[in-house]
Amino acid sequence: MFDINSFLRDLSIAIVPFLLAVTVHEASHGYAAYLLGDDTAKRAGRLTLNPFVHIDILGLLFLLITRLFGWAKPVPVNFSVVARKKYGVALVAAAGPAANFLVAVLSALLYHIVSSINTNNPLILKVLFPITMMLIFSVQINIALGIFNLIPVLPLDGGRILQSFLPLNKQIKFAQFERYGFIIILLLIITRVVDYIVFPIIHFLIRLLI
């Protein structure tokens, strides 16, 4: 039976780590591109950790439904500029998931510290519970976001990374599939390929951390 109170409680706790996860993810793409000579994100005002600059309404609504997955507005990157550096596109693409994994590890460390606090004080317990839940959600959301984005399908980060290591003629052919990216991802979800391949990796890493 659907428990609306439990749903709203979990949602209110998950919203903060979700905003942090997507903000860090997108800002990291922008910072990586900036370090490689592309100031597109900076000129667009996207080199910031302000979540309201990055938030995408549809991605937020998807979080409301799944309580795990969501997305933000992609940071603009001039790939022709970053491609001048060796593996520049791959570095920019990898920066987002790498940042998510770092946040997940830090959240897990904080979770173990907070959960080890031994107290019978009801006031402290009342404060520690939502903090503990936020840290758990932070691990789950960041791992899920990082792994899901590493699926080797354009326009996901995994697709950009794979494309960077292909020969030039193969890169051009691979890029033609980007227009069908959303359909391919949808098919992977409908056919449960994500369930059998991606979810086990996500669940393994979450169990490893918490």
Write the DSSP assignment of 156-176 as a string of letters. Answer: SHHHHHHHHTS-HHHHHHHHG
Among this protein's residues, is 26 annotated catalytic?
yes
Structural tokens at position 205? 């890493």
User: Cα(73)–Cα(16) distance, rounded to whole angstroms?
Assistant: 17
Question: Of these residues, 14, 26, 97, 136, which one is catalytic?
Answer: 26
Q: What are the CA-CA distances from residue 182 to residues 87, 125, 177, 188 (Å)?
A: 25, 44, 10, 10
User: Cα(146)–Cα(114) distance, rounded to whole angstroms?
Assistant: 24
Tally of CA atoms within 13 A in the half-sphere of 46 that contains its CB: 27
Whose structure tokens read 């691990």? 139
Packing angle, helices 4-35 and 57-66, rounded to 10 = 140
User: Cα(129)–Cα(117) distance, rounded to whole angstroms?
Assistant: 11
The set of catalytic residues is: 26
